[in-house]
């Protein structure tokens, strides 16, 4: 008899997801601490390439290496790599230009944009509650971005460019989410994780021709640490969903703001402005509404299935 690979252990699930969110925030801080002195393509390469050994070891320990090496949809993995690498490059570039809490807050818009794209590209139905959630989230994004657009330097201001780069990265991640929804229909999750790191490494390696720099020992340590931390965080977030439902774990993503505020203040002396906190609160509210609605729909579907089951 087959044994289920999942079990309901909520405390473990929350612990794994929270640890992953902290590590992802720490990764962003490491990249930001490079102060743009390392070319973006070079930083993306180290982040992707150094994560591969971590992922491979994890797949071996889980006995899923075979699944991780089977690519049933090679072009699907390629385009997922292109989109993901683009999002990573935009994020890394933007991090050097704006405070870590601000970049984190703008990134919360990914689920909002994903809903919009799912409606356009996948034909998913978006009802009034989701439309309201999207409107609230977009209002929050506008509140966060507007002060940057209204600065005296306009689009020439580096902070404005940084905010727009992070917003563009958020949109790119939304495309990634849509693409993954299609890719999981043919390929194993392990394959998606493995081939993304491989594709991102190869794509970013091509930027070597545009000029890489020889990192100092400190910079090299940060680049390698970013890759290893990224690989471990990816494993932790994947593992967390073995022990708890997505609806329970989704709100934990917003712990990244707490981590970003603490790390940003201690490491960089950054502190979120009231405008950023207000905008972030609205974006989070929009996302929470979506999570709540998905939970309600899940309960309704469960009741419907129960009513349809034959009585013994």
Q: What is the pLDDT of residue 85?
A: 96
Q: What is the pLDDT of residue 2?
A: 40
Whole-number CA gyration radius for the chain: 20
Q: What is the pLDDT of residue 83?
A: 94
Tokens of 300: 């309704």
Q: What is the pLDDT of residue 312?
A: 45
Angle at 110 between CA 42 and CA 57, to 5 degrees: 50
d(CA 176, CA 107): 14
**Distance of CA 256 to CAs 137, 261, 284, Å?**
17, 8, 12
d(CA 64, CA 130): 37
H or E, element range at 59: helix 52-62
Residue 76 · residue 179 · CB < 8 Å: yes
Q: What is the pLDDT of residue 3?
A: 43
d(CA 295, CA 68): 31
Q: What is the pLDDT of residue 27?
A: 97
Q: How far is CA 26 from the centre of its chain?
A: 13
3-state secondary structure 162-184: HHHHHHHHHHHHHHHHHHHHHHC
pTM for the structure as a whole: 0.85
Residue 268 · residue 224 · CB < 8 Å: no
Percent helix, strand, coil in the chain, to 5, is 80, 0, 20
- For the chain, the structural domain boundaries read 10-304
d(CA 264, CA 270): 5
Residue 197 · residue 59 · CB < 8 Å: no
Say what the alpha-carbon torsion angle 229, 234, 28, 264 is, to the nearest 10 degrees.
Answer: -90
pLDDT by residue, tens only, the chain of 312 residues:
344 445 667 888 889 989 999 999 999 999 999 999 999 999 999 999 999 999 999 889 888 888 778 888 999 999 999 999 999 999 999 999 999 999 999 998 888 888 888 888 877 777 788 788 888 988 988 898 888 776 554 555 888 899 999 999 999 998 988 888 788 788 887 788 889 999 999 999 999 999 999 999 999 999 999 999 999 998 888 888 778 776 677 778 888 888 999 999 999 998 888 999 999 999 888 888 877 777 676 666 666 655 555 554
Say what the alpha-carbon torsion angle 256, 258, 261, 263 is, to the nearest 10 degrees.
Answer: -70
């Amino acid at each position: 008899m087959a044994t289920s690979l999942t079990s309901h252990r909520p405390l473990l699930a929350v612990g794994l997801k929270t640890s992953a969110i902290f590590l992802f925030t720490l990764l962003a801080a490491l990249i930001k601490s490079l102060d743009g002195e390392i070319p973006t393509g070079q930083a993306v390469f180290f982040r992707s390439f150094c994560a591969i050994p971590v992922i491979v070891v994890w797949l071996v320990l889980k006995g899923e290496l075979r699944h991780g090496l089977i690519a049933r949809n090679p072009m699907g993995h390629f385009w997922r790599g292109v989109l993901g690498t683009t999002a990573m490059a935009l994020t890394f570039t933007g991090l050097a230009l704006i405070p870590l809490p601000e970049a984190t807050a703008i990134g919360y818009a990914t689920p909002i944009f994903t809903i919009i794209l799912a409606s356009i590209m996948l034909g998913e139905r978006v009802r009034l509650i989701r439309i309201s959630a999207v409107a609230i989230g977009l209002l929050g994004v506008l509140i966060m971005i507007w002060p940057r657009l209204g600065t005296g330097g306009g689009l020439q201001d580096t902070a404005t460019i940084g905010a727009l780069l992070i917003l563009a990265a958020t949109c790119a991640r939304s495309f990634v989410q849509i693409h993954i929804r299609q890719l999981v229909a043919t390929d194993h999750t392990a394959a998606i994780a493995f081939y993304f790191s491989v594709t991102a490494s190869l794509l970013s390696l091509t930027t070597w021709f545009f000029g890489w720099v020889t990192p100092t020992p400190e910079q090299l340590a940060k680049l390698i640490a970013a890759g290893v931390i990224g690989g471990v965080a990816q494993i932790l977030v994947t593992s967390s969903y073995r022990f708890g439902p997505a609806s329970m774990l989704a709100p934990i993503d917003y712990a990244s703001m707490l981590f970003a505020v603490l790390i940003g203040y201690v490491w960089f002396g950054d502190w979120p402005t009231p405008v950023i906190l207000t905008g972030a609160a609205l974006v989070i509210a929009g996302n929470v509404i979506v999570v709540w609605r998905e939970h309600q729909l899940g309960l309704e579907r469960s009741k419907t299935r129960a009513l349809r089951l034959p009585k013994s």
